[in-house]
């Protein structure tokens, strides 16, 4: 029977048998570019930071109600339509500084 491990996401991983493990370790010992970490080295490891770096001024998530014709017009322009709405609103703000005070 195979030794398995269930992940949090529900995937089942098949772990190597003792024989497979010894073959893997023999391969590691033959390769001068690889080595097995000591327990002390393993304790010093930290998770890699994944994804984009945080933005200095991130956009704010809101809910807004727009007329169907406005949404249809922007959606018809393809991917990035929400960014184009943002650009249109920024343009409007620049053109009407007196209204916003």
- Taking the CB of residue 50, how many other CB atoms lie within 10 A of it? 5
Is it the case that residue 1 has pLDDT exceeding 70? no
Mean of the pLDDT values across residues 8-14? 93
- DSSP character string of 23-48: HHHHHHHH-TT--PPPHHHHHH--PP
Residue 101 is predicted with a pLDDT of: 66
Residue 9: per-residue pLDDT = 92
pLDDT digits (tens, 9 = 90+) for 28-87: 889 989 888 899 999 999 888 889 889 999 999 999 999 999 999 999 999 999 999 999
Strand partners, 4: 14
CA 20, CA 25: separation in Å to the nearest integer? 9
Average the pLDDT over 11-33 and give the result: 91
The full DSSP string for 30-94 is H-TT--PPPHHHHHH--PPPPSPPPPSSPPPP------HHHHHHHHTT-TTHHHHHHHHHHHHHH
């Amino acid at each position: 029977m195979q030794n398995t491990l269930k992940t949090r996401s529900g995937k089942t991983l098949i772990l190597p048998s003792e024989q497979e493990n010894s073959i893997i370790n023999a391969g590691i010992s033959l390769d001068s570019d690889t080595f097995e970490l000591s327990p002390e080295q393993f304790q010093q490891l930290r998770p890699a930071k994944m994804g984009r770096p945080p933005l200095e001024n991130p956009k704010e998530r809101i809910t807004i109600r727009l007329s169907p014709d406005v949404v249809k017009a922007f959606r018809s322009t393809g991917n990035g339509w929400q960014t184009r709405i943002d650009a249109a609103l920024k343009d409007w703000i620049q053109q009407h500084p007196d209204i916003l005070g």
